[in-house]
Chains A and B, each alone.
Chain A
Amino acid sequence: MRTFVPSVLISCLTLVSALPWGLPPDGRFVLPLMPIAAIHFWAVRDDARLVEWFVFLAGLTLDVLSNGPLGFWSAIYLGAYALSVLAAGSVRGVRLGRWLSLVGVMTVLALMEWALSSLYYFEFADLWPLALGSIAVVLFYPILAGALRFLDPEMMSSANPGLTAGGRN
């Protein structure tokens, strides 16, 4: 049951990112990165609430809906999950630390996306839209994190201020 809310919210974000929003070409990369922000949100707070195969399925769903190569977004989402869990140990409970860890995770993922897409087509992909998407997610993260916290009853009801409000060290 504890994994239910994160799973539902990540599913929603994944489906929403496949919808036709009429974004300009450079903005195409922003929406598929939003589920990454959500994955990071729970992974750095409590990775037990995320299930690895669910993260994999979310990425695979986006691959199917966007008609991209199968395995691309699932690899990126799993990468985001792994990096966030690894970063969690040092930033848990520190609001700025969590945000900085997202900056690091998004940087690594942008490079990973660029490398994977370049490798897939055997030609250098354009890094700019990927970087732009990552920057947008980093900037948008505080709002998204607030919304996710608001929608997660477990976080709202938690007595621990470190979890609900970013910690007071």
Chain B
Amino acid sequence: MSVRRSESHIYMSRKARPLRRVRFRTVLPVLLILSAGLLVLSRLEHSAVREVRWHIAELMTPVLSAILVPLEPLRWVGQHVTKLADLTRELDDLKDENQRLRSWEWRAHELERKVGELTALSKVVRETPLEFVTVRVIANSSGAFVRSAMINAGTDQRLKSGYPVLSGDGLVGRVLETGRSAARVLFLTDLNSRIPVLVGRDGVRAVLVGDNGPSPRLAYALSGAHIAPGDEVATSGIGGLFPRGLRIGVVVETARGLRVRPHANLDRVEYLSILFYEAPSPDLAAVPERDGIPVAAEAGASASLDGGRDKAGP
């Protein structure tokens, strides 16, 4: 008891105590109500909230970049400790994979030769390689709500909303919002992410739907379509938001059914590449017409049949 009395004596005068009590009873409820109000506004996706949030986030970008510098060794240690734990399992997997890939390598060379011959025969329009910029992740989402990251590049680096974002392992998501010097990337695991994809060798069309979990699900696949664990998933290019053929992940069997495990480790991405990819459809709208038919329709049709934006990735 004596300790408690002495603390009060040290830290709070008799006059200060009622003042604290009043503040606790008035200011705190007001702030709690304000928080609840902000939550409601966020749920309604009020445009003012979005703008204010983005302005503040942009102001914080230099602060976060500066903090990252002294903490770099600590982050390095943390990441390597986690990596080491996964390494043994990964080594066994890689040995198996390597054996399988050797036989595929021969097959790929054969197919490459055939594709080259067929391309020459059908006079397919060549895809122009896409530009990209590599950026750094400076902040990560935490909590149950979103799967996104903030990067240290924005409109000053010619970034636009919608640009595809990749890591060395595959597609990560797309640019959601851009400020002058910062942008937010929406991960493909986010609840709001929808990506048209092709699954497996048969190229089954589906939509990859994020649900804030580590493995997004496949939706809108044709009934009776054969999708099995181990099938590769890549972007289909339908809708024009992403180029066709960007690697995403592999189908895995989970307790909640078939899911897609992304190749990119979204929790550990540090550097990301942003593709300067514009949706092709707006360009087609501006194409001059002759007798009501776009003059470049043939070229556009052959480009879409080509389906080969595979070379687009960095």
Residues of chain A having any CB pair with chain B under 8 Å: 15-25, 28-29, 31-32, 45-49, 52-53, 55-56, 59-75, 78-79, 81-82, 85, 92-93, 113, 116-117, 120-121, 125-126, 129-130, 158, 160, 162-163, 167-169
- Interface of chain A: mostly helix, strand, loop or mixed: helix
B residues near A (Cβ < 8 Å) are: 1, 3-4, 6-7, 10-12, 16, 20, 23-24, 27-28, 31-32, 34-43, 49, 53, 56-57, 60, 63-64, 67-68, 71, 75, 78-79, 82, 137-146, 148-150, 184, 191, 213-214, 267-270
Additional pairs, 12, CB under 8 Å, beyond known A18-B142, A48-B16, A62-B142: A16-B71, A18-B64, A19-B71, A23-B78, A45-B7, A46-B11, A52-B23, A68-B142, A70-B53, A71-B40, A117-B144, A126-B144
A71 touches B267 (CB 8 A): no
**Interface pair B78/A71, CB less than 8 Å apart:** no
Contact of B145 among A72, A92, A160 (CB under 8 A): A72
The docked-state distance in angstroms from the alpha carbon of A30 to that of B41 is: 26
Interface of B is mostly: helix
Whether A72 touches B148, Cβ cut-off 8 Å, given contacts A20-B269, A162-B6, is no
Question: In the bound complex, do residue A23 and residue B145 qualify as a contact, i.e. CB atoms below 8 Å apart?
Answer: no
Please provide the 5 A-B residue pairs with the shortest distance between their CB atoms, ordered closest to farther: A71-B38, A162-B3, A69-B42, A93-B3, A75-B35
- Shortest CB-to-CB span from A158 to chain B, Å, is 7
Q: Which residues of B contact A60 (CB under 8 A)?
A: 38
Q: Is the CB of A68 within 8 A of B146?
A: yes
Complex contact A22–B31 (CB within 8 A): no
* Chain A, residue nearest B146 (CB): A67
5 contacts between A and B (CB under 8 A): A19-B75, A21-B79, A29-B142, A74-B31, A85-B24
Chain A min CB distance to B167 (Å): 12
Q: Which chain A positions have C-beta within 8 A of B10?
A: 158, 160, 163
- Bound Cα distance A16, B78 (Å): 14
Q: How far is it, in angstroms, between the C-alpha of A49 and the C-alpha of B148 when the chains are bound?
A: 34
- Alpha-carbon separation in the docked complex, A64 to B42 (Å): 11
Contact indicator A53/B27 (Cβ below 8 Å): yes
Residues in chain A near residue B269, CB distance under 8 A:
20
Q: Provide the residues of chain A in CB contact with B11, threshold 8 Å.
A: 46, 48-49
Residue of A nearest to B39 (CB): A71
Q: A67-B148, A75-B35, A163-B7 given as contacts; is B140 within 8 A of A18 (CB)?
A: yes
Across-interface contacts of A160 in B (CB, < 8 A)? 3, 6-7, 10
Which residues in B have their C-beta under 8 angstroms from that of A85?
24
In the complex, the chain B residue whose C-beta lies closest to that of A23 is B267
B3 touching A65 by the CB < 8 A rule?
A: no
- In the complex, are the beta carbons of B146 and A66 less than 8 A apart? yes
Closest to A125 in B: B144
Return chain B residues, CB-CB under 8 Å to A47: 20, 24
CB < 8 Å: which of B42, B43, B214, B270 contacts A22?
Answer: B270
Complex Cα–Cα for A17 and B143 (A): 11
- How long is the Cα–Cα vector from A130 to B142 in the complex, in angstroms? 11
Which residue in chain B gives the minimum CB-CB distance to A167? B3
Which partner residue on chain A sits nearest B185 by CB separation?
A67
A103 to B226, CA, bound (A): 50
Given A16-B67, A48-B16, A65 contacting B31 (CB threshold 8 A) = no
Residues on A with C-beta less than 8 A from B67 are: 15-16, 19
What is the CB-to-nearest-CB distance from A45 to chain B, in angstroms, rounded to a whole number? 8
Partner of A75, one of B12, B36, B267, B268: B36
Task: List the B side residues contacting A17 at CB < 8 Å.
Answer: 142
CA distance A67 to B187 in the complex (A): 12
Complex alpha-carbon distance, A67 and B57, angstroms: 9
B144 near A56 with CB under 8 A, answer: no
Q: A88 → chain B, closest Cβ, in Å? A: 10
Q: Which of B34, B41, B43, B78 is in CB contact (< 8 Å) with A56?
A: B34
Inter-subunit contact A52/B142 (CB<8 Å): no
Give the CA-CA distance A70 to B56 in the complex, in Å.
12
Output the least CB separation between B163 and chain A (Å). Answer: 17
